[in-house]
Amino acid sequence: MDVQIALMLAQDGLTNGAIYALLALALVLVFAVTRVIFIPQGEFVAYGALTLAMLQGGSMPATAWLLAGMGALVALIDGATALRNGQTQKLAGVLGWNVGYPLGLVALLTLLPVKDLPLVAQVVLALAVVVPMGPLLYRLVFQPIASAPILILLIVSVAVHVAMVGLGLLFFGAEGQRTPAFSDANFEIGPLMVSGQTVWVVMASVVLILALYQFFERTLYGKALRATAINRNGARLMGISPALAGKLTFFVAALIGALSGVLIAPITTIYYDTGFLIGLKGFVAAIIGGLASYPLAAVGAVLVGLLESFSSFWASAFKEVIVFTLIIPVLLWRSLTTRHVEEEE
């Protein structure tokens, strides 16, 4: 292996690592706030990428109908609750967000010449379809069991993952998709050829991570999420409802997932079930951070990305094996160095 190949592999590793870092952050966040190990994180990656591909192909993405269906369900449940409690003034908001928004979006997708819009607009539309599914998913599935033990939450999380992969096959078919790159530019740095998309991915990850940092450090809603993660009871007494925190967290996680999908769709071919493996690598990174530390998780993500790209060069058949085996020494080391923490009540 010469320097040039090594640099190329490092570039690949960094690109993937940046995506894993984003996903790892989302996983840590979701776990800290809601105690859910968010297995379906990867499905948001696939949904984001494939929804964009369908928009570019000129067809109405089936995910838009899924959004409308989920919205209708939530409207039914929340609407009935509001009526029963006599809070009729809430009704307009419930209907508007859960029924009005999806239908409006479907109308927009039908009326606009989506196929010929600039890429940025297509990306925004794809995100507008996929991201709201995050909070809706929380409302429908996790909010009713919010105080269940971690194990139950994990089982439900796996079930959601399986359901979403199945729906993915139904919506997008078994064909893989690759979307056009954000930019065709190539940069030569010394012996290294850097593609425009790589720059996009790394820059977008860095910007997103910095934006998340600002969100959690500077805004009251970000602080409210941190507060919920630190002390759920205390947060409730401040009027930060677990339901609100959960929905907000799932919104952020879905945004990160879908955006990651849109970013890597030009680099790798995405199938309906690709998301799981990508999410799993983010998960390995999150585990390296102990599901608690954001910086450690980000470092772990880059490590996973590099390990993956170098092992695909030396032993491509064992690439995944090597990456997932990494988790064993890490877990061993963690279990030896950290004291055991009982599950909180």
Partner 1 sequence: MNEVKNPVLQIDKLCVSYGKVEALSNASITVGEGQIVTVIGPNGAGKTTMLSAIMGVLGSAGRVSFDGTIEAVPEVERMVARGMNLVPEKRELFGEMSIEDNLELGAFQRYRMGHRDQARTMNEVFELFPRLKERRTQLAGTLSGGERQMLAVGRALMAKPRLLMLDEPSLGLAPLIVREIFRIVAELRRRGVSILLVEQNARAALQVADYAYVLETGQIAMQGPAHALADDPRVIEAYLGLGGKHQAMLST
Tell me the site size for partner 1, rule CB under 8 A. Answer: 17
Displacement of CA 73 from its chain's centroid (Å) = 23
Determine, following the binding rule CB under 8 A, whether residue 239 of this chain makes contact with partner 1: yes
Displacement of CA 160 from its chain's centroid (Å) = 14
Between residues 231 and 338, which has the closer beta carbon with respect to partner 1? 231
Q: How many helices (H) and strands (E) does the chain have?
A: 16, 2
Binding residues among 240-259 for partner 1 as defined by CB under 8 A: 240-241, 244
Nearest distance, CB of residue 329 and partner 1, angstroms: 29
Single out the residue of 111, 189, 220, 336 in contact with partner 1 (rule: CB under 8 A): 220
Determine, following the binding rule CB under 8 A, whether residue 223 of this chain makes contact with partner 1: yes
Nearest distance, CB of residue 38 and partner 1, angstroms: 22
Single out the residue of 18, 68, 224, 303 in contact with partner 1 (rule: CB under 8 A): 224
Per the CB < 8 A criterion, the answer to whether 194 and 187 are in contact is yes
Name which of 160, 128, 138 is nearest 51 in CA terms: 128
Nearest distance, CB of residue 235 and partner 1, angstroms: 8
Single out the residue of 230, 315, 321, 332 in contact with partner 1 (rule: CB under 8 A): 230
Nearest distance, CB of residue 221 and partner 1, angstroms: 9
Single out the residue of 104, 234, 331, 333 in contact with partner 1 (rule: CB under 8 A): 234
Structure tokens at 86: 């006599």
Q: How far apart are CA 26 and CA 36, in angstroms?
A: 11
Per the CB < 8 A criterion, the answer to whether 235 and 224 are in contact is yes
Contact region with partner 1 (CB under 8 A), list: 56-64, 68-76, 225-233, 328-336: 225-233
C-alpha distances out from residue 19 to 2, 117, 233, 251, 274, Å:
26, 26, 33, 18, 14
Per the CB < 8 A criterion, the answer to whether 38 and 159 are in contact is no
Strands (E), the chain: 186-189, 192-195
Q: Count CB neighbours of 220 within 10 A.
A: 8
Per the CB < 8 A criterion, the answer to whether 311 and 324 are in contact is no
Name which of 67, 70, 48 is nearest 122 in CA terms: 48
The radius of gyration computed from the CA coordinates of the chain, to the nearest angstrom, equals 21
H or E stretch covering 206 = helix 196-218
Determine, following the binding rule CB under 8 A, whether residue 214 of this chain makes contact with partner 1: no
Between residues 178 and 223, which has the closer beta carbon with respect to partner 1? 223
Nearest distance, CB of residue 90 and partner 1, angstroms: 12
Single out the residue of 86, 111, 113, 233 in contact with partner 1 (rule: CB under 8 A): 233
Nearest distance, CB of residue 215 and partner 1, angstroms: 14
Contact region with partner 1 (CB under 8 A), list: 17-25, 132-140, 228-236, 305-313: 228-236
Single out the residue of 37, 227, 270, 330 in contact with partner 1 (rule: CB under 8 A): 227
Between residues 221 and 318, which has the closer beta carbon with respect to partner 1? 221
Q: Going by DSSP bridges, is the β-strand pair 192-195/186-189 parallel, antiparallel, or unpaired?
A: antiparallel
Single out the residue of 130, 235, 270, 303 in contact with partner 1 (rule: CB under 8 A): 235
Determine, following the binding rule CB under 8 A, whether residue 178 of this chain makes contact with partner 1: no
Q: Which residues bind partner 1 (CB under 8 A)?
A: 220, 223-224, 226-227, 230-231, 233-241, 244
